[in-house]
Structure 1
Amino acid sequence: ADLGARQTFEFLLGRHLDAHPRQYTLTPADLAGLMADLVGPARTVLDPACGTGALLRAVTPRPGQRLYAQESSPELAALAALRLALHTRAPVHAAAGDTLRADAHPELRADAVLCHPPFNERNWGHDELAYDPRWEYGFPARTESELAWVQHALARVRDGGTAVLLMPPAAASRRSGRRIRADLLRRGALRAVVALPAGAAPPYNIPLHLWVLRRPEQAPAHPEVLLADAGQFAGEGRDGPDWQGVREAVLDAWRAHDRDGRLDERPGLARSVPVVELLDDDVDLAPARRLPPPAAADGAGRLADVHERLGETLRLTAELTPPPVDPARSAAPGRRPLTTVGELARTGALVMRTGGNGGHARLPVLTDHDVLSGTDPSGTLPESDEEAVLTEPGDVVVPVLGGGSVARVIDRATAGAVLGRNLVLLRPDPAALDPWFLAGFLRGTANHRQASSYASTATRLDVRRLQLPRLPRDEQRRYGARFRDLDAFERALRQAGRLGEQLVRGMYDGLTDGTVAPD
């Protein structure tokens, strides 16, 4: 019964978040598990920006455990409390409110803090909180909201307690935060910075960082910081990172560093860096700039793997190559009656929406570049009260600038992203229109030419003027199946191109850094 209740709740929660977009922290389960493993067993755990409770749900249970949470949205705070109550026997103390301005747990000194804070906030309380006692390591600049969350986490853990925060990579190198980073290093509070592979969490095109911090009981005599880069475990396309590889590499490096205070160098992956080496004018903590190149055997092995995957993709491309056109059947049929997207929208056969200029900052954003290149949602939008347009499976998305004849059908992996600027979304009625039929005919070059207007520097598409034939549903499916095959062929070609570029880049790097021999 408990298992059924949990499964039902997870299903309903997913449907609720899809249907009613909120400003919530989207932390994938694999990433949440890694963050929880980095803090280790803990009796009291706090998540000050809990979202739907994914991080606290990942915490390893132990006797006498207590979980504390806070979220600015009252609805999400209630959902997180209910979710955690279904998944753990530990008491859950969840509160609603702005954590930085109105901390619900000011007296708490937890064993661990897990946090996926909002990124790039400007209205985080800079003017009101100038003299707040939490700023032990320096008053954060208005543009450094993430460093305010770092210091809040350190203020809520006991001496020797651990905090793990998901951070944007810019927080490791922005000049406005260098004094706070330097003080975190000098006092031994910052213990590790781990660069995750791209695709670990929204925004998926950016390799986010994990910061591991520990409230110092005393300053270490010869402090060293672990810098690790798990970028080599990035996945291809929509598969996401190799989470098993990420977990094994990161946890092994962190546990060895935490146990011994230092780590023997692991080329291309991790090293312990003396703090004095980092305390220059920039205090740049980006791991990639401090790590040695991978060992020759590792570099050659990765190139061999890329070569093998390229061969497999090229074989798949050959299998997907469209068959030649039969000349006996290539004659065009009689003129078919046409309709336009505008007419279909007026008759209710489809719904037409346009992308906005703002929305919910924590949701992935589908950009016109993503549509043109066939990649996952990679953008961000300024946070605002503007209603976001969320994509759903079967939607057709069309860019309106640039002049390219492109239309993308949204699948389940891409659904839930916010529609970005310069995009139009068409949501066909399944009873009237096949989405692949719609997308295929919208991609016709002549169709785009007659529906476009031309300025001196740009081409703009009037989506309402795009045309497609009036065909019965069965005939639409026949066309749709062929268009879907062409889309698979196109994606395979793109994958082969990416792997080819990766192989060439790896060969250049290997030959120039000595990890690959010229013969």
Structure 2
Amino acid sequence: MTAADIARLAGVGRAAVSNWRRRHDDFPQPVGGTATSPTFSLGQIETWLRDQGKLADPPVRERVWQTLRQAAAGDVELSDVMSFAGALLLSLHADPARLRDLTGASDDRAGEALADAVRAHTDLLPASFDTAAHVPLARALAGFAGELGTADAFEFLRTRYLEHHSRRVYMTPEPVVRLMLDFPPETPRTVLDPACGTGVFLTTAQDVYTNVQELLGQEIDETTARMTAVQLALRGAPAEVRPGDSLRDDAFTGRAADLVVTNPPFNDRNWGYEELTGDPRWEYGLPPRMESELAWLQHGLAHAAPGGLVVMVVPPAVAGRRSGRRIRAELLRRGALRAVVGLPAGAVPNMAVAVSIWVLRRPAPGDPPADDVLMADVSAEPDGYHQAAIDAWRRYLDGRPQRGAATAVRIIDLLDDEVDLNPARHLPQRTAPSAGGAFTRRRARLESAAAALPKAVTALELLKQSRGGEEPAMTTIGELAKAGVLRILRVSPRIRMGEGAVPVLTLEDAARGRGPTGTAAPDEDHVRIRARDIVVSQIARRPIARVAAEDGPVLGPGLTVVRVDPSRTDPDFVAGWLRLAARGASLRSSTSSARFDVRRARLPRLALDEQAAYGEAFRRLTDLETALRAAQEAGDQVLALGLEGLGAGTLRPRP
């Protein structure tokens, strides 16, 4: 086990483990790894922690993960053991009674039962894998699944595995995924992701499209494909995930989808140019050797049903490279390309440049020829780019005038020698800021925000240093919900963002502590936020827990409301402990789709007056955060307007 594993086992930070190694001569010595990343024996570490009084009873999940790690001699075997765990959990999910006697049977009988149990899922395992040798792990997994549920148990193991291989795995950020899935005007019946990775598009599509009938995915890494298949199966999704290279070995030849959505690998020089020269998918021209993105776009179109959409993340260079201009021109002439939307820098964090989303539509028989393309640049709206992009797209579909940084460009105007499809090139130039007006208003806002900071800092005098004491008895949010102390309310699965005029609090709104920016059509199942409700993020990577100041909007996707009885529990107290739990979930998660389980958040059992004291302290820390964010945002705006004004001559320095 690594130092991070030890920290999780003891419930401390990694710095504490480093201190123990330096200060205690009897701390176990490494048994493997490297000088900078040593590994230790689980048994020795548990014995040492228990002798030091730092480990009363190791968490079940940590014990199961370490048992799984010990069952594998290396990374290759770890992937096989993960596949075994997935096959076993699928078997338990399909027939919970099948392994009822696993814990009590002898090793030989358990081994026989285990082989039978996973036989239905042997396609997930190498043929040489010896199931009988992993009876202890199977018993641990069966107990773990009984406590947590098969889907949550596998999600925990999958998240840990991805953390272990974080440099080899990349997940598209959830806000970008949600945006791309909002482009279809109607719910697609079949969704295909030909480079599905960990399955974030497919799992989110299951959440967003309530009537989806088929989820198809292909992933070049066999282990990742197996894990994605298990994850979707345990969620009850109508999914089919195949391993393999989609361009070289298409697993879904001849099958059509209403929506093809993906974030494919970029700048891949080894995409198969030599082997695929005469491939029938290249309807719009043979992709150049250096233009793998144009191969992926045409692969998507080849799988789109007539009238179906292809929504793909594309680097900006694809819009203007000379080598790809003939294919770009053909996509325009035949009416396949419908929109190019430029995203803000950082929307996809692993890219050094601001990427675009290309929306293509496979022409259906009898379609009138397209005569224009939507060009939208939402890069100037890092907080509201989702709403701006979808608003521009729906205006384009409805034939309404555009507003903001979006316009419909005639195809004939794009078919020049360059066929440049960068949106910024086709949008009207923005005018220089007015002389001093906007700058003066933003400067006043910055002065006000800066003046509020000292008060927020002074308020922290309420907190005093303590040596600690006896830990109080703990409970969970789920236990309090069962006792009727609070309620947990989740967003309606039928909510359709961008439709109607009902204000909706989005995940980004909650993260930034601002009012609602989204809209939706009214629905009797929508959750309306009330004063003193606690708004919590369901996304582990976005740790949020805020107390609503007043009755407000509808709850948006990715959020949960915890509604307390103020006569029995202090809302600020509960919000503080929820935020601590959410931060912990964020540190443990390496995937953008991992969920924070509100019900398992722990908090101490305290009298109401003690809760109120803690709630006041949590509230003062939240006030400081709000003041710091307001000052930073106002400062960023003053900086941008000041630079633009000086450059345009609308601001001058005083003599």
**TM-score, normalization by structure 1:** 0.58
Specify whether residues 148 and 299 from structure 1 end up closer, same or farther in structure 2 by C-alpha distance, changes over 3 A only: farther
Equivalent residue, structure 2, for 1:16:
161
The one of 79, 88, 97 equivalent to 2:227 is 79
Is 1:280 aligned with 2:416? Answer: yes
Specify whether residues 86 and 31 from structure 1 end up closer, same or farther in structure 2 by C-alpha distance, changes over 3 A only: farther
Aligned 8 A contact 1:26 1:202 in 2: no
The count of residues paired between Structure 1 and Structure 2 equals 341
Specify whether residues 298 and 496 from structure 1 end up closer, same or farther in structure 2 by C-alpha distance, changes over 3 A only: closer
Aligned 8 A contact 2:342 2:356 in 1: yes
Q: Which has the higher contact order (CA 8 A, sep 6+)?
A: 1
1:243-284: per-residue Cα shift (whole Å, max 9, x none)?
A: xx2222111211221233xx42324x2111101111111111
Aligned 8 A contact 1:25 1:117 in 2: no
Is 1:503 aligned with 2:503? Answer: no
Is 1:212 aligned with 2:351? Answer: no
| Equivalent residue runs for 1:330-479 within 5 Å | none
The one of 138, 141, 156 equivalent to 2:303 is 156
Equivalent residue, structure 2, for 1:271:
407
Specify whether residues 110 and 298 from structure 1 end up closer, same or farther in structure 2 by C-alpha distance, changes over 3 A only: farther
Specify whether residues 311 and 223 from structure 1 end up closer, same or farther in structure 2 by C-alpha distance, changes over 3 A only: farther
How far apart are residue 412 of structure 1 and its match? 11
Identify unmatched segments of 5+ residues in structure 2: 1-145, 458-583, 591-628
Specify whether residues 281 and 254 from structure 1 end up closer, same or farther in structure 2 by C-alpha distance, changes over 3 A only: same
Aligned 8 A contact 1:45 1:114 in 2: yes
**Aligned counterparts of 1:64 and 1:496: Cα–Cα separation in 2:** 43
How far apart are residue 148 of structure 1 and its match? 0.3
| Equivalent residue runs for 1:193-212 within 5 Å | 193-212=340-359
Equivalent residue, structure 2, for 1:479:
none
How far apart are residue 57 of structure 1 and its match? 1.5
SS at match of 2:327: helix
Specify whether residues 67 and 302 from structure 1 end up closer, same or farther in structure 2 by C-alpha distance, changes over 3 A only: farther
The one of 217, 229, 251 equivalent to 1:69 is 217
SS at match of 1:211: strand
The one of 366, 372, 379 equivalent to 1:224 is 372
Equivalent residue, structure 1, for 2:178:
33
Equivalent residue, structure 2, for 1:107:
254
Equivalent residue, structure 1, for 2:276:
129
Identify unmatched segments of 5+ residues in structure 1: 235-241, 322-410, 418-490, 515-519
Specify whether residues 176 and 83 from structure 1 end up closer, same or farther in structure 2 by C-alpha distance, changes over 3 A only: same
Equivalent residue, structure 2, for 1:258:
397
SS at match of 1:163: strand
How far apart are residue 85 of structure 1 and its match? 2.5
RMSD value, Cα: 3.9
Specify whether residues 11 and 295 from structure 1 end up closer, same or farther in structure 2 by C-alpha distance, changes over 3 A only: farther
**Aligned counterparts of 2:588 and 2:642: Cα–Cα separation in 1:** 33
Is 1:56 aligned with 2:195? Answer: no
SS at match of 2:373: strand
Opposite residue 104 of structure 1, the aligned amino acid is A
Specify whether residues 248 and 295 from structure 1 end up closer, same or farther in structure 2 by C-alpha distance, changes over 3 A only: farther
Aligned 8 A contact 2:343 2:354 in 1: yes
SS at match of 1:38: coil
Specify whether residues 63 and 265 from structure 1 end up closer, same or farther in structure 2 by C-alpha distance, changes over 3 A only: closer
**Aligned counterparts of 1:309 and 1:46: Cα–Cα separation in 2:** 47
How far apart are residue 41 of structure 1 and its match? 1.0
Specify whether residues 27 and 144 from structure 1 end up closer, same or farther in structure 2 by C-alpha distance, changes over 3 A only: same
SS at match of 1:113: strand
1:474-507: per-residue Cα shift (whole Å, max 9, x none)?
A: xxxxxxxxxxxxxxxxx99999986554122332
Aligned 8 A contact 2:310 2:359 in 1: yes
**Aligned counterparts of 1:415 and 1:143: Cα–Cα separation in 2:** 38
**Aligned counterparts of 2:435 and 2:298: Cα–Cα separation in 1:** 39
Equivalent residue, structure 2, for 1:248:
387
Opposite residue 502 of structure 1, the aligned amino acid is A
**Aligned counterparts of 2:163 and 2:354: Cα–Cα separation in 1:** 25
1:353-382: per-residue Cα shift (whole Å, max 9, x none)?
A: xxxxxxxxxxxxxxxxxxxxxxxxxxxxxx
Specify whether residues 3 and 207 from structure 1 end up closer, same or farther in structure 2 by C-alpha distance, changes over 3 A only: farther
* Structure 1 or 2: more helix by fraction: 2
How far apart are residue 220 of structure 1 and its match? 3.8
Equivalent residue, structure 2, for 1:481:
none
**Aligned counterparts of 1:128 and 1:81: Cα–Cα separation in 2:** 29
1:61-116: per-residue Cα shift (whole Å, max 9, x none)?
A: 344611100000011111111222334x3321100001100000001111110110
Aligned 8 A contact 1:43 1:62 in 2: no
**Aligned counterparts of 1:6 and 1:15: Cα–Cα separation in 2:** 14
Equivalent residue, structure 2, for 1:188:
335
**TM-score, normalization by structure 2:** 0.46
Opposite residue 250 of structure 1, the aligned amino acid is A
Equivalent residue, structure 2, for 1:366:
none
**Aligned counterparts of 1:500 and 1:270: Cα–Cα separation in 2:** 25
How far apart are residue 184 of structure 1 and its match? 0.5
Aligned 8 A contact 1:64 1:90 in 2: no
Opposite residue 304 of structure 2, the aligned amino acid is V
Opposite residue 172 of structure 2, the aligned amino acid is T
**Aligned counterparts of 1:107 and 1:2: Cα–Cα separation in 2:** 43
Specify whether residues 16 and 127 from structure 1 end up closer, same or farther in structure 2 by C-alpha distance, changes over 3 A only: same
How far apart are residue 202 of structure 1 and its match? 2.8
Aligned-residue identity in percent: 45
**Aligned counterparts of 1:42 and 1:78: Cα–Cα separation in 2:** 25
Is 1:47 aligned with 2:193? Answer: yes
Specify whether residues 302 and 34 from structure 1 end up closer, same or farther in structure 2 by C-alpha distance, changes over 3 A only: farther
1:302-333: per-residue Cα shift (whole Å, max 9, x none)?
A: 76785467546755898999xxxxxxxxxxxx
Aligned 8 A contact 1:26 1:201 in 2: no
1:201-238: per-residue Cα shift (whole Å, max 9, x none)?
A: 1335421100000001256445110011111212xxxx
